[in-house]
Amino acid sequence: MTYKTIVGLEIHVELSTKTKAFCSCENSFGGQPNTRVCPICLALPGAMPVLNKNVLRYSVMAAKALNCTINNKSKFDRKNYFYPDLTKGFQITQNDKPICEEGFLTINSNGEDKKIGIFRIQMEEDTGKSLHTEGDETLMDYNRSGVPLIEIVTKPDMNSGAEARMFLEKLKNTLIYLGISDCKMEEGSLRCDVNVNVKEIESGRKTAVTEVKNLNSFRGVEKAIDFEVQRHIKLLENDEKEIRTTRRWDDAKNETILMRVKYTVADYRFAPEGDLPPVVITDGEINEIISHMPELPEDKKLRFMKDYKLNDYDSKILTSSKELASFYERLAGKFDDYNMLSNWILTEILRQVDLENGEEIKLSFADDEFIKLLRSVKDNKISNNAGKKVLLEMFETGESSDEIIKRLGLIQISDSGFIEEIVDKVMKANPQSIEDFKNGKSRALGFLVGQVMKESKGKANPKMVNELVSKKLNSLI
């Protein structure tokens, strides 16, 4: 049997505005419980919400970056349901008239570009947070209540856990580039629910859609989808039927666990939010917002290829992180061998620096010290391998490159007369290698070069050694 995996995502992104969505309370993570609240975000009688204009501005930026149609007129609605963390008994969200619709984000799957459709992006508010204690109590922290969100609902265009992960990684990178969210899953500023089912190609049979919650990493999203795919295939193979369910991902067990069965469609009794007027934005206002948007990853990649003459691969990796791209450009302003700089950053620097937290790249030494090291390598003061050794020492000790080069005695010898003396000595001591080279055994060249480097204690300029040995051998043929 042949099966097709069908995956859609519902993604909630907390916006990095200074204040909450409908009041002037500070919007930031953590803090003492219930200290960043007011009558509006606590839904006290008589409190009236007012839309934070930056919520609209950030939503328009996200819409443009995700190729959506931005609606000139949208409105807020009340989504009614009961939960302790929902102070009003309803959530302010957008239902039938969201801020934008019909977009897409392109990922590269199996070497080909693939568009993942986006149904809609809607503005809404976050809820409070339940804190469960060891004493079997549940405490409520409303600091998060009223924090601005955008909900991004994709079309079911993804066909594997890997594609979902690629989509989320690209989405996160795009939103961070825009500066509208820090997208820290560990702090809840990016949350994702997965909808997945499987179709049997030959018969057209489908399993019921499963919603998976409690996903706190992109790797978790991928693993949860892969687990569910295998579970759904077994349902089809055993001719078992299962109505829609909500499950949660258990990282410890590496499996999904049933939370509840959806016997009926949830009735949220949507109604227009009477305390907020319709949101009206003109084309001129939209264009003004778009004109001030920062450079997006794809545009930056193309610029890196043009301005720094980097290849597609290096440009893609360097611009895959806003912090990494900024770090490269900061150093490129001081060192104009752009390809050499790229190679050292992508290999030697990234071995020592953790980019997972999305923080600014800060070395344990000044930028100028790194540039000085690169110049030492480029000017043949030290060899490439010696440069790598020096860089490692710089990370470990914080010493300057010059101090380490001097301490380890790594200054490269480029005196042609001195190197020629060593070459002559080595060739005289290895007549058999010369005969092997004359007989077509090219490995003899490498052997002799190695012997010269050994004799010079690794200090001879490798390029000069190779050229000189090759010249002398070829003159004997």
Based on its alpha-carbon atoms, the radius of gyration of the chain, rounded to whole angstroms, reads 30
31: number of CA atoms within 13 Å, CB side? 15
Residue with tokens 């969505």: 21
- Quick: pLDDT tens for 358-394: 566 778 888 899 999 999 888 878 888 888 888 888 8
Q: How far apart are CA 125 and CA 93, in angstroms?
A: 7
The pLDDT of residue 264: 64
Q: How far apart are CA 140 and CA 131, in angstroms?
A: 6
Q: Where in the chain is CATH 1.10.10.410? A: 416-475
Of the pLDDT bands very low, low, confident and very high (cuts 50, 70, 90), residue 172 is very high
Q: What angle do CA 278, 280, 283 make, to 5 degrees?
A: 160
Q: What angle do CA 313, 371, 402 make, to 5 degrees?
A: 135
Q: Is 372 helix (H, G, I), strand (E, B) or coil?
A: helix
The pLDDT of residue 75: 95
Q: How far apart are CA 343 and CA 450, in angstroms?
A: 25
The pLDDT of residue 476: 67
- Over residues 152-169, the mean pLDDT reads 93
Print the SS3 string covering 386-452.
HHHHHHHHHHHHCCCHHHHHHHHCCCCECCHHHHHHHHHHHHHHCHHHHHHHHCCCCHHHHHHHHHH
pTM above 0.85, yes or no: no
Among the four given CATH numbers 1.10.10.410, 3.40.630.30, 3.40.50.460, 3.30.2320.50, the one describing domain 416-475:
1.10.10.410
> Residue 223 carries which side chain, given as an amino acid letter?
K
Q: How far apart are CA 417 and CA 205, in angstroms?
A: 80
The pLDDT of residue 475: 73
Residue 137: CB atoms within 10 Å: 8
- Quick: pLDDT tens for 198-224: 998 888 888 889 999 878 888 989 999
The pLDDT of residue 94: 95
Of the pLDDT bands very low, low, confident and very high (cuts 50, 70, 90), residue 52 is very high
Question: Residue 344: phi, psi to the nearest 5?
Answer: -70, -40
Q: Are strands 245-250 and 210-215 parallel, antiparallel or unpaired?
A: parallel
Extract the tokens encoding 452: 């010269």
Q: How far apart are CA 132 and CA 125, in angstroms?
A: 22
pLDDT tops 70 at residue 179 = yes
By percentage, how much of the chain surpasses pLDDT 90? 46
By percentage, how much of the chain surpasses pLDDT 70? 95
Extract the tokens encoding 261: 């069965």
Among the ranges given (130-144, 165-179, 251-265, 298-312), the one the predictor scored with the smallest mean pLDDT: 251-265
The pLDDT of residue 415: 61
Q: What angle do CA 234, 258, 260 make, to 5 degrees?
A: 125
- Quick: pLDDT tens for 319-358: 988 889 999 999 999 998 999 999 999 998 888 877 665 5
Extract the tokens encoding 282: 């003109």
Q: How far apart are CA 150 and CA 101, in angstroms?
A: 13
The pLDDT of residue 168: 94
Q: What angle do CA 375, 379, 383 make, to 5 degrees?
A: 90
Residue 335: CB atoms within 10 Å: 18
Q: How far apart are CA 286 and CA 74, in angstroms?
A: 14
Residue with tokens 């909900």: 151
* Widest pairwise Cα distance in the chain: 99
